[in-house]
Amino acid sequence: MFFDIGPLELVALVILGVLIFGPDKLPKVIQDVMGFIRKVRAFSDSAKEDIRSELGPEFKDFEFDDLRPKNFVRKHVLEKDEYGLKDLQEIREGFDLKQEMADVTDAVRSYDDASSGAGRPNLSKDGGSASGGRIDLSKKPSGGLAPGERPPFDTDAT
C-alpha cells in the first residue's frame, strides 16, 4: 500500500501535512484520503468481478496478475509444454557456448602463432578453409607495423 515508502519518508510526509493543512484539519484530510482509497479499491474490485462474470465460467480462475509478462511466461510456458516447446535443458544444449569460445580462443592463439612466423592458422573443423559465414582470422592485416612502431593516432575516433 505504501509503495516502498520508508519510515523517514513517512515522517517527512506527516510533517509536510501538518505544515500544509495544520494540526486541526489534518485528521479530517487523512480521513477523506482513506475514504477515497477505499472507494477506488471497491471500484477496482467490482470492475474485476464484472470482467470475470463477462468472460464466463471457463475463466473463473482468471487472475489479473497473470497478465504481467513475467507471470504469464512462468505460468503458461515454463510450467506447461502444451505449445510443443522443448525442455529448457534441450534448448540450452543446442547452444554450445563453451565449444564456440574454445574455437575462438584457438583461432586467436593460432593467429598469434602465425604472426610470429609459426604458420597459417586453420579455423574450420573439417581442415579446409574457414567458411559458413565465419570471419577468417587467419589473414594478417595489410600494412603491418614494424617492431616498436606505434599505431597511427586517429583524432576523429577520440
Residue scoring higher pLDDT (55 or 25): 25
Cα 16 to Cα 56: distance, rounded to the nearest angstrom: 48
Counting residues of the chain whose pLDDT is more than 70, the rounded percentage is: 66
**Considering just the CA atoms, what is the radius of gyration of the chain in Å?**
33
Convert the pLDDT of each residue in 34-90 to its tens digit.
999 999 999 999 998 888 888 888 877 777 777 788 877 777 666 655 555 556 666
Does the reported pTM lie above 0.75? no
Angstrom distances, CA of residue 53 to CA of 14, 48, 50, 58, 90: 41, 9, 5, 10, 41
Decide if pLDDT at 127 tops 50: no
Domain boundary assignment for the chain: 7-85, 92-122
At 4, the pLDDT band (50, 70, 90 cuts) reads confident
pLDDT attached to residue 40: 96
Decide if pLDDT at 17 tops 70: yes
At 130, the pLDDT band (50, 70, 90 cuts) reads very low
At 123, the pLDDT band (50, 70, 90 cuts) reads very low
Decide if pLDDT at 124 tops 70: no
